[in-house]
Chain A
Amino acid sequence: MWLPLSQCATAPSPLPSPEPVAEKEKQDEIVATPGPAGFASLQLMEQARVLLESNKPDEAIRTLERAVNLHPANGGNYYYLAEAWLMKGNVRQAREFNALAAIYLRDHGEWRSRILSQEERISRRAREQGV
């Protein structure tokens, strides 16, 4: 009756795999509350948004690059980078950044719909360009 237990114990055991990596990763995962760098990144993101509203995609991209450097997990930066590249007519880059935004902002309801709508706009532009 206890055979299965002993079977487990005597089975050829591979080298113990590192454990529990998965749990650690969950704990360390970048959380919604940004640290000081995150707040600074948000400031830059806001500056970039204003630049985009003023139709200045080049300046916005430069500002957003700095924002990404400060806090790579701020998904909003990627959303606006996609927006800037779309404004410049580069759908390939817009698509890459849109995909990154989708990864980082998938738990944020209001962002999700904006990202989806952006994706549609990118696809539409791509069709127009025949890409």
Chain B
Amino acid sequence: MLFSAFLAAYGLYLSLEIDKRFSGRRWSIPSKVFSDTTMLYPGQQIQRVSLEGKLERLGYRKVNHKPRAKGEMRFSPNTWELFLNDLQIPHAKRQGFPLQLTFEGNRIASIADLRTGKPIPLFELEPELLMLFFGPTREQRRLVSIKEIPEHVIQAVLAAEDSRFREHIGVDPWGILRALYVNLLHGDIRQGGSTITQQLAKNYFLTPERTFSRKIKEVLLALTTELMYEKDEIMEIYLNEIYLGQKDSISINGLGEASYFYFGKPAGRLTLDEGALIAGLIRAPNLYSPYVDKERSALRRNTVLLAMNKLGWISRDQMEQAASKPLRPSGYEIYRRKAPYFVDYLSSQLATLYSAEALSSLGFSIYTTLDTEAQRAAESALSRGLDRLSPTVSQKDPARKPQGAVLVMQPKTGSILAMVGGRDYGESQFNRLTQAKRQPGSAFKPFVFLTGLDRFTPATLFSNELRTYDGEGETWTPRNYSPVAESAVTMRTALAKSINLPTVDLAMKVGLDQVSQTARSFGFSTPLAAYPSLALGSSEVIPLELARAYCAFAAEGTLPQPLSVKDVTDEEGNVLERRYMTLERVTTPAKAFLITSMLRSAVEEGTGRPLKAKGIDFPVAGKTGTTNDLKDAWFVGYTPELLTLVWVGYDQGQPLPGPGSEIALPIWADVMNGMRQYLSGRWFKVPPGVLRKEICIESGQLALFSGCLQRRTEFFLEENSPKEPCSLHGSHNPLDRIIQKAKDLIRNF
């Protein structure tokens, strides 16, 4: 009586425990971070090797036959056939279908739907997995519903583990008797004889030791579970729970994840032989893994197939056909966090929304702006660039190695396409783009010149004479980086050739407070002290903020918000968080254009000239930066499509072997050369409010054809464009004008 009461109470306790465990969230699913998708369209320039690599990273497999299943691809010299995988992202859903890409050199000539032969104007490739937010258990799992799993896969699991699952009540007496017999025979625990329900109870509630008291608990739990749940529910929990292999340090759990790990497909598409292989793994996943020993794996699979045949679930023909199939595991990449600095930055953004525990357990999908091709271009360019410095720097002490950082953004949307925050994430996780504060040097000058555009024009002359200024409690005498003989230079020349003295002259004329205010409106969060040296970039800035501020020049004067996260969805695909490109106007389109135009001069005629020799044959606006004692080397450059910032320097501030044009610029060229497919080669549209006028170089006033020998065209803001004719070469005396005209005629004759 007492025993019955105890048993009833214990049963109630167990049922509450089971209910608590099974009715709540059953598993911790790490959130996944994805790159952006990739658009492909006819006429696009593409590096075929890169595209092939991308397809492989996305799990596409080369086959020798015409692709018949999702994820298969066949290559011939100028034709690629792909059976696209399904695409399911927050803004687009697409069923996989076969298509054909044809190439002419490195250009996509055409894209056609192989089902209909019709041309396809563009399509998206799936995003790449960048990272998983693992919890302490480092489990990877993909949940699958019992309704999606083919019957032959369930039968394979039953044949391998518990063929009487449908009949027993959670415990199989025959199995227990068999196990008892074996264990008594050996005087030790040799066999479990557990049913699937018992295995589940063991995994969920019990410790792994093999004692008789634990066995009794397991039996009671199994019986209670069977009373509480339907067979299909138990089977579904089991199939999502079981451990099925190891991918480096990460455990593969559940049939859904195992299907991708071993065969690169969802569980719903597993064939009989594949299902039997996975079922055979349950007993000892790493022993029977096809990645460990194909022969042993095939033998185990065939044992399962034989068991299925004996149970009458498959015919002899089906068994023989499946058993004769060669093992073709899909292959996998060892999990490696990609774009680690970007992911850290992203995590810091997400930390304001979700706790670390939520990210490691709730199975969110986080879609980002990262472009894996741009990231690879940035990583390899920085690595090569820093290696080029090797002969001149110490490589022995990691702390004394030069560091570098590269950021690639889309200036109009603010999307961060690539972020490399240091030379080696393994050595240093300090992100020099988001956490460092460095002097920008001349890379700051555009903000000085922008401030001056209210009063001056690109043609205005500024003094190039040595002067001493008061500031910071002492006097300061700026000097040019290299000698410039002229006593005055135009604004355009001063910016293009990065001449210090006229820059300071301009800054003092417009007012340092004004310069500081302009810069702050461009989003700099660091203090910008209104000292004369501010004009030459002596105030430290965060590189990401510098890149963002330059974006405004490329985006018609609108400052974009840097974007890394696009969408966050829950496991069901419901959008939890969505971030868009947003714009904030910080200057007029006309002024932004004038700065861009002068920065183009910097590339074509000034400090950025070496770009041409490095293969940059398309129009670019850009600015070098070098700080005192060569502590920092910068190059920030942009086209209408892309903006790239490169910084090189030592964490400890040792001098570099050269200026920005020698150290940072070649890396910039390398990055952009690796991203040709993103560039149109076109230039910015001249916005309203900008006038093009011919001026006299000497006076900066409207050129007189008859008097000014040195003329050129220049852009002006409509409100302060020159309206007066050249006073140096023109005369107000009508007689002189007639004489001048006559001289012009004679000269032209």
Measured CB to CB, the residues of A under 8 A from B are: 1-2, 4-5, 7-9, 11-26, 28-31, 35-40, 43-44, 58-59, 61-63, 65-66, 68-73, 93, 96-97, 99-100, 102-104, 106
Contact = CB atoms under 8 A, between A and B. Distances in A.
Highest count of chain B CB atoms <10 Å: which of A17, A20, A61: A17
B610 to A, nearest CB: 15
Given A30-B684, A40-B122, A68-B413, A14 B698 contact: yes
A118 B582 CA distance: 19
B709 A5 contact: yes
B682 A30 contact: yes
Interface in B11-47: 39, 41-44
Nearest to A2: B743
Contact of B41 (A1, A29, A39, A72): A39
SS class, residues of chain A in contact with chain B: helix
A61 B490 CA distance: 43
A28 B698 contact: no
A102 B488 CA distance: 38
Contacts of B413: 65, 68-69
8 contacts: A2-B743, A8-B729, A11-B728, A14-B488, A29-B683, A36-B42, A37-B41, A103-B589
Nearest to A30: B682
A54 B392 CA distance: 62
Nearest 7 pairs of A and B residues by beta carbon = A36-B43, A28-B683, A18-B605, A18-B601, A40-B41, A22-B713, A62-B91
A19 B601 CA distance: 8
Contacts of A17: 459, 489-490, 492-493, 496, 601, 697, 712, 714
Interface of B: 39, 41-44, 90-91, 121-122, 410, 412-413, 415, 459, 461, 464, 484, 486-490, 492-493, 496-497, 499, 556, 558, 566, 575, 578, 580-585, 589, 597, 600-601, 604-606, 619, 640-641, 680-688, 692, 697-698, 707-710, 712-715, 728-729, 731, 739-740, 743
B707 A20 contact: no
Nearest to B367: A62
Contacts of B605: 18, 21
Contact of B698 (A1, A11, A18, A106): A11
Contact of B685 (A20, A68, A73): A73
Nearest to A36: B43
Contacts of A43: 41, 121-122
A30 B91 contact: no
A30 B683 contact: yes
A22 B464 CA distance: 25
Given A17-B697, A18-B605, A93 B496 contact: no
Contact of B39 (A5, A23, A70, A103): A70
Contacts of A66: 39
B743 A1 contact: yes
Contact of A21 (B575, B585, B600): B600
